[in-house]
Amino acid sequence: MSDPTSNRRVSAEDEATVERLLAGDEATFTDLVERYHGRLLRLALLFVSDRASAEEVVQDTWLAVITGLPAFEGRSGLKTWIFSILSNRAKTRGRREKRSVPFSALTSADQGNDPAVDPSRFTSGGGWSAPPEKWDEDTPERLLLRQETRAAVDAAILALPAAQRAVITLRDVEGVDSAEVCNILEISDTNQRVLLHRARAKVRTALEQHVGSSR
């Protein structure tokens, strides 16, 4: 009953994209660049501290993608492949500029002990005294249409300690799976989950304040 294609890491769509790129199809290239450029920039900024460096890393990544295409073996999907080229370059650049510390060294400091929810919202017995409100199913989507909400979420992410910001950006913003995130950041699976937990809790709090003030 298993899907015969399930063992192949690369989708038929990715394969077709690579074939068209190798054939020199400009529309496919433009499409790819438009789809990923901003996302690559967002990822590069996790590793280097200034925008100019991040932009250079992204441009280098595109060149590496172009020249590396014939060697693309499809052991991973196209997105994973592009992201790994980007993160390797960004890490190297960050280290060279001595602006970045390995995430493995940051995780213990970044894990922190801050609770997911402000303790003042619970009774001494651990029950809710100021419970969360029920959000409508489309609350975040509706709010995300507004520039100020997007800015609030961006600001909440930006305010996170570096390792938390890296994990939540990769996992939740970019949809990279947990094994790949551990791989990119060179951290353990347990660390990854703790960082994700802290980061999500803070973004939820920011959204909650925003939902509350928008009513």
Partner 1 sequence: MLTCQQLTELVTEYLENRLSFTDRLRFRMHVGMCRHCRAYIDQMRQTVRTLGRLPAEEIPPEVRDALLVQFRNWKRQ
Contact residues toward partner 1 (CB under 8 A) are 24, 26, 29-30, 33-34, 37-39, 41-42, 59, 62-63, 66-67, 115-117, 119, 122, 125-128, 131-135, 137, 139-141, 143-144, 150, 153-154, 168, 172-173, 175, 178, 193, 196-197, 200-201, 203-204, 207-208
Rounded to a whole number of angstroms, the minimum distance from the CB of residue 94 to partner 1 is 20
Rounded to a whole number of angstroms, the minimum distance from the CB of residue 44 to partner 1 is 12
Residue nearer to partner 1 on the CB measure, 1 or 145: 145
DSSP labels, the chain: ---TTTT-SS-HHHHHHHHHHHTT-HHHHHHHHHHHHHHHHHHHHHHSSSHHHHHHHHHHHHHHHHHHGGG---SS-HHHHHHHHHHHHHHHHHHHTT----HHHHHHHHH----SS-GGGB-TTS-BSSPPPPPPTTHHHHHHTSHHHHHHHHHHHHTS-HHHHHHHIIIIIT---HHHHHHHHT--HHHHHHHHHHHHHHHHHHHHHHHHHT-
Rounded to a whole number of angstroms, the minimum distance from the CB of residue 4 to partner 1 is 26
Rounded to a whole number of angstroms, the minimum distance from the CB of residue 38 to partner 1 is 3
| Dist. CA 16–CA 27, nearest whole Å | 13
Query: In a 10 Å sphere around its CB, with 0-12 CB exposed, 13-18 middle and 19+ buried, how is residue 118 labelled?
Result: exposed
Residue nearer to partner 1 on the CB measure, 4 or 24: 24
Residue nearer to partner 1 on the CB measure, 102 or 180: 180
Rounded to a whole number of angstroms, the minimum distance from the CB of residue 204 to partner 1 is 4
Residue nearer to partner 1 on the CB measure, 11 or 64: 64
Rounded to a whole number of angstroms, the minimum distance from the CB of residue 183 to partner 1 is 17
Residue nearer to partner 1 on the CB measure, 184 or 207: 207
Residue nearer to partner 1 on the CB measure, 95 or 111: 111
